[in-house]
Amino acid sequence: MFINIIKTLKNNKGEILELWMKNQLADSVLTEELISHQELRKQSEELVNALVNNLNENNINDSQSPDFDQVTELLGGISISRARLGFSPRETGSFILSLKEALLEILKQESSNVKELFEETLKLSRLLDNFTILTFETFIKGREELIMRQTDEITDISTPVIKVWDGILALPIIGTLDSARTQVVMENLLQEIVKTGSGIAILDISGVPTVDSLVAQNLLKAVSATRLMGADCIISGIRPEIAQTIVHLGIDLSQVITKATLASALQYAFKSLRLEVRKTASEPTGINK
């Protein structure tokens, strides 16, 4: 009796596609900004063909069957690309869900036996539901990859190491200093120390919203690692409320050179390099030339 449903679907491929397209387009949330109707039709046609051509009485109960490799591959590709293009989960999910509707519609037209219709519907539903789950899994995976890539980018962007003077590096830290960030900060800083042969590094934490014991611990790690390389590390940009928190939490930063502002840290650095910034007696001639 399964031959029946499969034959029916195979004979009505064209109609399934038309119905499905109608369903998809009726869904008002699907905007043409994200995908052209032409493109959508191409995707849909490919999927209908892959599904109906590979369907037989044995695999209808088994969505894991290797016969469906083409279907899962197509679905995976579509979900991933939709995740990247910024489709909503609803838009992605309704793609496959509206196919189910189209398939069931065809079944309804072909069979009048209620019991038979119910059983066939159940089978087809199960199969399509499994594909829907797969679609969501892939969609979420696509989003997660996107988030991971963005996280990496943010960490990279937000830790520039600036050479402020010969032998002096500055590293403004912006945002929370968690363990992963600390690792990136340390790596960038130490590599730059080696590259430039700088003896002094200034970690400026003006852009760090709060300092708790974990952040303080991470700062101390960066200071220790810098020292192991043979360079000195100054922490600057300590705001009054941060100084209060540090003391209230009982964090010991007494072994670290700390300054209120980047300017005073720089002044300290100049002093220890025996450099001096002075006003010249005459008007500068170089600047206006």
Partner 1 sequence: MTRDTIMVLKEQDVVPFRNRVKEYAVKIKMGLVNQTKLITAASELVRNMLRYGNGGEAIIEVISKGPYTGIRLTFKDEGPGIADIPKAMQDGFSTGKSLGLGLPGTNRLVNEFDIKSELGIGTTVTIIKWANG
Partner 2 sequence: MERIPILKMGAFLLVTIQIDLYDRLALDLEEDLVKMVEQTSVKGVLIDISAVSIVDSFMGRILGNIASMSKLLDAQTVVVGMQPAVAITLVELGLPLNGVSTALNVEKGMHLLRSMMDFNGTDQEDGYSSYD
Q: Is 212 a binder of partner 1 (CB under 8 A)?
A: no
Distances (CA, A) of 112 to 9, 99, 107, 209: 16, 21, 9, 68
Q: Which of 73, 145, 153, 166 binds partner 1 (CB under 8 A)?
A: 145
Q: Which of 215, 168, 208 is CA-nearest to residue 192?
A: 168
Which residue's CB is nearer to partner 1, number 122 or number 148? 148
Q: Is 191 a binder of partner 2 (CB under 8 A)?
A: yes
Q: Is 155 a binder of partner 1 (CB under 8 A)?
A: no
Number of residues that bind partner 2 (CB under 8 A): 18
Instruction: Annotate each residue in 16-55 with x if it binds partner 1 (CB under 8 A) or - if it does not, as one string.
Output: ----------------------------------------
Please report how close the Cβ of residue 221 comes to partner 2 at its closest, in angstroms: 5
Residues 6 or more apart from 182 whose CB is under 8 A from it? 218, 221, 222
Q: Is 183 a binder of partner 1 (CB under 8 A)?
A: yes
Which residue's CB is nearer to partner 2, number 47 or number 193? 193
Please report how close the Cβ of residue 195 comes to partner 2 at its closest, in angstroms: 10
Q: Is 225 a binder of partner 2 (CB under 8 A)?
A: yes
Please report how close the Cβ of residue 187 comes to partner 1 at its closest, in angstroms: 6
Please report how close the Cβ of residue 211 comes to partner 1 at its closest, in angstroms: 21
Which residue's CB is nearer to partner 2, number 93 or number 199? 199
Q: Which of 33, 112, 115, 197 binds partner 2 (CB under 8 A)?
A: 197
**d(Cα 126, Cα 117) in Å, to the nearest integer?**
14
Q: Is 36 a binder of partner 2 (CB under 8 A)?
A: no
Q: Is 224 a binder of partner 2 (CB under 8 A)?
A: yes
Q: Is 194 a binder of partner 2 (CB under 8 A)?
A: yes
Binding partner of residue 227 among partner 1, partner 2, none, CB cut-off 5 to 8 Å per kind: partner 2
Please report how close the Cβ of residue 276 comes to partner 2 at its closest, in angstroms: 19
Q: Is 206 a binder of partner 2 (CB under 8 A)?
A: no
Q: Is 187 a binder of partner 1 (CB under 8 A)?
A: yes
**d(Cα 21, Cα 44) in Å, to the nearest integer?**
8
Please report how close the Cβ of residue 144 comes to partner 1 at its closest, in angstroms: 8
